[in-house]
């Protein structure tokens, strides 16, 4: 870690800010939480999800957990109040939830959460999206991702960071044969050349945390796969 990064972390830490994570039980969310705990830049971290999560490590003992019903989020507006920064790693797949279920989670839940966060005083929102997100796309997945990006940008956060990673290189606990084959291919491919199509889950998490420390001129920014890789270099390599 460079001295510049250490200085940024210490400066941010002194601001005594709090954050919340949506989707902390998912692949990106789990690694993001680990990264935030390790770098210790927030005075308070809240997990917002549909169930209570269990942790054995003492590093997790000071976390606050808010259990909500995503179908009735307006009833849980208090869970979204008082946070400076929000991280959204919420998502599912069409194969797992069906078309309607996918739209409900990746659009409806995400957008409503962002609305409540904004109303609750959150000024800085980080959204995990997808490479190729486009509200005009003919592909449902990319269209929904693009739509929710645009609608969250319209909410007017003081700062919005949208991350569009490619294929996530991670060993999921659940079995998704198609994704497993894609990960194996891109992992091998990226080992011999620069690859804009894939990225490790650790790099995404590191990029999200590192980007939190920065102060870009624009209020809203989109980080494509190569931008995420640059910010999320593991151990500076």
Q: What is the CATH number of the domain that holds 79?
A: 3.40.50.720
Sheet containing strand 159-164, edge to edge, reads: 64-67, 44-49, 18-22, 85-88, 124-128, 159-164, 220-224
Catalytic member of 17, 60, 135, 141: 141
**Contact between residue 200 and residue 139 where contact means Cβ atoms under 8 Å apart:** no
Sheet strands (E) in 74-229: 85-88, 124-128, 159-164, 167-169, 198-200, 220-224
Q: Is 163 a catalytic residue?
A: no
Count: domains in the chain: 1
Q: Which of 28-32, 51-55, 160-164, 215-219 has the lowest mean pLDDT?
A: 215-219
Tens digits of residue pLDDT in 2-48: 558 899 999 999 999 999 999 999 999 999 999 999 999 999 999 99
Residue 195 has pLDDT above 70, yes or no: no
What integer is the mean pLDDT of 170-183?
49
Confidence of residue 196 (pLDDT cuts 50, 70, 90): low
Residue scoring higher pLDDT (235 or 163): 163
What integer is the mean pLDDT of 51-79?
96
CA distances in angstroms from 202 to 64, 84, 168, 217, listed in the order given:
23, 23, 9, 26
What percentage of the chain carries pLDDT values higher than 90? 78
Residue 14 has phi, psi (to 5 degrees) of -70, -15
What integer is the mean pLDDT of 179-190?
46
What percentage of the chain carries pLDDT values higher than 70? 86
Residue 26 has phi, psi (to 5 degrees) of -85, 175
What integer is the mean pLDDT of 99-123?
97
Tokens, residue 208: 């999200």
Query: Which residue is associated with the tokens 């091998």?
Result: 188
**Contact between residue 49 and residue 23 where contact means Cβ atoms under 8 Å apart:** yes
Tokens, residue 216: 């870009």
Confidence of residue 234 (pLDDT cuts 50, 70, 90): low
The mean of the pLDDT values for the chain is 89
Q: Which of 24-28, 188-192, 210-214 has the lowest mean pLDDT?
A: 188-192
Q: Is 141 a catalytic residue?
A: yes
Catalytic member of 87, 145, 163, 206: 145
**pTM, to two decimals:** 0.88
Name the residue range of residue 53's domain. Answer: 1-171+180-233
pLDDT of residue 142: 97
pLDDT of residue 115: 98
**Contact between residue 104 and residue 38 where contact means Cβ atoms under 8 Å apart:** no
């Amino acid at each position: 870690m460079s001295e510049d990064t250490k200085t940024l972390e210490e400066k941010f830490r002194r601001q005594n800010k709090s954050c919340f994570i949506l989707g902390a039980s998912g692949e990106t969310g789990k690694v993001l939480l680990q990264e935030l705990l390790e770098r210790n830049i927030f005075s308070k971290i809240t997990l917002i999800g549909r169930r209570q999560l269990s942790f054995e490590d003492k590093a997790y003992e000071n976390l606050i957990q808010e259990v909500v019903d995503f179908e009735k989020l307006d009833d849980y507006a208090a869970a979204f109040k008082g946070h400076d920064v929000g991280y959204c790693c919420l998502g599912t797949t069409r194969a797992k939830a069906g078309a309607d279920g996918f739209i409900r989670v990746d659009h409806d839940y995400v957008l409503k959460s962002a609305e409540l966060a904004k109303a609750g005083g959150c000024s800085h929102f980080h959204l995990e999206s997808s490479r190729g997100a486009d509200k005009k796309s003919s592909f449902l997945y990319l269209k929904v991702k693009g739509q929710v990006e645009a609608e969250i940008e319209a909410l007017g956060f003081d700062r919005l960071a949208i991350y569009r990673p490619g294929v996530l290189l991670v060993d999921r606990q659940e079995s998704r044969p198609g994704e497993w084959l894609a990960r194996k291919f891109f992992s091998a491919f990226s080992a011999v050349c620069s690859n804009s199509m894939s990225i490790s889950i650790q790099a995404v998490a590191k990029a999200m945390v590192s980007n939190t420390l920065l102060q870009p001129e624009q209020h809203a920014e989109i980080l494509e796969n190569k931008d995420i890789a640059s910010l999320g270099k593991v151990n500076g390599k």
